[in-house]
């Protein structure tokens, strides 16, 4: 009876060990597959392409007299502000959530036009808050009591849907990002690599420097990076820095996010209110937040810039020109704002789509993504010159570590990568130990049984 129980225990142990080997193998394989860069067809455009696309399409269909913007709700569904019940039914049938509001986009735009026509006050900004159906006017600490009172009277004449707010800090451009670029005028951050089909450029902020500015990649001025060939500021806030070599080099579609890592950029789009976004800059590194407004106007001391993206992402001097992106999609370059990354603040971005159209250039993306990325073109052949935006030896495109898996890396290499060992290999190790242990115990039992038999036979 005792021997029968031992046999049952050994068999159960062996079966459990074999099951553990199979389970551990599946866990390791899944971890290895998860570390692969996803194919272009499965990557990056979900946020701008689905929720925001549905909302924007409904706004375009219904018109600005019956809608007042769209945004992404807390549950990820698109929300569309509408002014009547029939428009609400159309939105609901399309799978989005309608919200009845009192003021149409036409009324909100008329309000911002009135503010724009009033005498300019440096240190003020305004944007349309789609979610509250209001125009929000902000004034920083440099705005005098008299100017604030005058703007308040203008807002009162427009209507009660204009909200006046005082904000901490000062609205300034962020001169002085991903990777730093330096000139005699100050320090900025490279935004995205772009091309006109013949020459490659860095897209950055216009206030970083006028046409003719020379940029370097080092403080000593030994590594000349390029020269500003086109700059627009104020009004808009974008510029092109032409590479000295004419080519962005390896990693032209990756933006640095710190820690030797980068995010591969696969396309370009317009953001939506409520969308989660990331900003990278050479001063403060990587930070995230939400889009809080679109078509914002900011009255910097140097001049007024319109059509900006407003966010609650922080930024600091030197972050100007740095990239704003979401899920590998380029959205904007850093213009300016108030506050800092200790206390928080408001940051405005120049939309990339608007800059590309005005400059007649296209975003540089990797060859495998060029076919599916909107407003994109294939990356140039690699050269010895490293792209300013690309950290280390990165190559542009999906979210991935700069020193991560190469495209030609084998499954075996991923399986042996210590980052993928984890629980799966622990399960495999435990199962192997169990198998060896049961085999050893069986061998010992057989040896002792033979000894007993030999002793009994030969006495």
The single residue of 104, 207, 287, 366 carrying the catalytic annotation is: 207
CB 269 within 8 A of CB 353: yes
DSSP 65-91: TTEEEEEE-TTS-EEEEESSHHHHHHH
CB 230 within 8 A of CB 359: yes
Task: Tell me how far apart the alpha carbons of residues 182 and 282 are, in angstroms, rounded to a whole number.
Answer: 11
The single residue of 47, 239, 284, 320 carrying the catalytic annotation is: 320
Establish whether 287 is a catalytic residue.
no
Kindly give the pairing relationship between strand 214-216 and strand 224-232. antiparallel
In a 10 Å sphere around its CB, with 0-12 CB exposed, 13-18 middle and 19+ buried, how is residue 379 labelled? buried
C-alpha 142 chain-centroid distance: 32
Task: Tell me how far apart the alpha carbons of residues 365 and 262 are, in angstroms, rounded to a whole number.
Answer: 14
Sequence-ordered list of residues with C-beta below 8 angstroms from that of 117, at least 6 positions apart, any chain: none
Sequence-ordered list of residues with C-beta below 8 angstroms from that of 213, at least 6 positions apart, any chain: 183, 184, 185, 227, 228, 231, 241
The single residue of 70, 237, 250, 319 carrying the catalytic annotation is: 237
Q: Of 207, 187, 183, 232, which is closest to residue 302 (Cα–Cα)? A: 207
17 membership: H or E segment, kind and range = helix 2-34
Establish whether 103 is a catalytic residue.
no
Instruction: Name the residue with tokens 């603040």.
Output: 345
Establish whether 320 is a catalytic residue.
yes
Which two structure tokens, joined as six digits, stand for 347? 């940051």
DSSP 289-337: EEEEEEEEEEEETTEEEEEEEEES----TT-TT-EEEETTEEEEEEEEE
Q: Which residues are catalytic?
A: 207, 237, 320
């Amino acid at each position: 009876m005792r021997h029968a129980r031992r046999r049952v225990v050994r068999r159960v142990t062996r079966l459990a060990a074999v099951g553990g080997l199979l389970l551990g193998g599946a866990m390791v394989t899944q971890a290895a597959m998860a570390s692969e860069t996803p194919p272009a067809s499965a990557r990056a455009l979900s946020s701008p392409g689905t929720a925001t696309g549905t909302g924007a399409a409904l706004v375009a269909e219904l018109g600005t007299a019956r809608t007042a913007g769209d945004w992404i709700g807390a549950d990820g569904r698109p929300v569309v502000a509408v002014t009547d019940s029939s428009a609400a039914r159309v939105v609901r049938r399309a799978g989005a959530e309608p919200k009845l509001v009192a003021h149409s986009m036409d009324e909100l735009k008329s309000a911002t036009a009135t503010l724009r026509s009033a005498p300019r006050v440096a240190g003020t900004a305004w944007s349309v808050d789609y979610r509250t159906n209001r125009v929000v006017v902000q004034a920083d600490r440099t705005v005098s009591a008299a100017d604030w009172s005058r703007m308040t009277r203008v807002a009162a004449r427009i209507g009660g849907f204009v909200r006046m707010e005082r904000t901490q800090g000062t609205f300034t451009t962020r001169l002085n990002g991903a990777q730093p670029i330096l000139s005699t005028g100050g320090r900025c951050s490279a935004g995205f690599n772009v091309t006109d089909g013949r020459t490659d450029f860095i897209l950055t902020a216009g206030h970083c420097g006028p046409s003719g500015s020379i940029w370097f990649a080092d403080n000593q001025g030994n590594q000349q990076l390029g020269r500003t060939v086109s700059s627009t500021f104020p009004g808009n806030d974008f510029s092109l820095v032409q590479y000295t070599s004419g080519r962005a080099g390896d990693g032209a579609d990756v933006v640095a996010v710190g820690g030797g890592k980068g995010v591969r950029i696969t396309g370009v789009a317009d953001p939506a209110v409520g969308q989660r976004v990331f900003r990278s800059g050479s001063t403060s590194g990587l930070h995230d937040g939400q889009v809080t407004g679109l078509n914002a106007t900011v009255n910097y001391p140097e001049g007024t810039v319109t059509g900006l993206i407003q966010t609650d992402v922080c930024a600091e001097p030197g972050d100007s020109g740095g990239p704003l992106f979401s899920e590998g999609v380029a959205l904007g370059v850093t213009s300016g704002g108030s506050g800092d990354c200790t206390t928080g603040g408001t940051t405005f971005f120049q939309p990339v789509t608007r800059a590309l159209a005005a400059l007649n250039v296209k975003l540089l993306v990797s060859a495998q993504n060029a076919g599916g990325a909107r407003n994109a073109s294939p990356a140039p052949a690699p050269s010895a010159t490293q792209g300013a935006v690309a950290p280390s030896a990165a190559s542009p495109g999906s979210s991935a570590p700069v020193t991560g898996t190469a495209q030609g890396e084998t499954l075996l290499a991923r399986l042996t990568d210590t980052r993928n060992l984890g629980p799966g290999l622990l399960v495999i190790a435990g199962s192997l130990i169990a198998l060896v242990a049961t085999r050893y115990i069986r061998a010992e039992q057989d040896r002792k049984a033979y000894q007993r038999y030999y002793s009994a036979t030969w006495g």
